[in-house]
Amino acid sequence: ERVCVCVREREFVCVRERVCVCVRERVCVCERERVCVCERERVCVCVRERECVCVCERERER
């Protein structure tokens, strides 16, 4: 599975399947590979194997 982890503060919330919302620093990392920096209320979504994409918080439907 694609695991999304938030580095730094290491605070994250799992939403849906491969979506992780950064609570503090808002920096996401997918499988310790590519780093995706989310700005504001952006969510980091793991797509494919080691690719993260920042999407609008609207996409994080609980």
Every domain of the chain and the residues it spans: 4-59
Model confidence, pTM = 0.31
Which residue in 36, 39, 4 sits closest to 19, CA to CA? 4
Contacts of 58 (CB under 8 A, 6+ apart): none
C-beta pairs of 56-59 under 8 Å, 24+ apart in sequence: 57/21, 59/19
| Predicted pLDDT of residue 62 | 42
| pLDDT tens for the chain, residues 1 to 62 | 445 555 544 445 444 555 565 555 555 655 444 555 555 556 666 655 555 655 554 444 44
- Coil, helix or strand for 58? helix
| Predicted pLDDT of residue 38 | 59
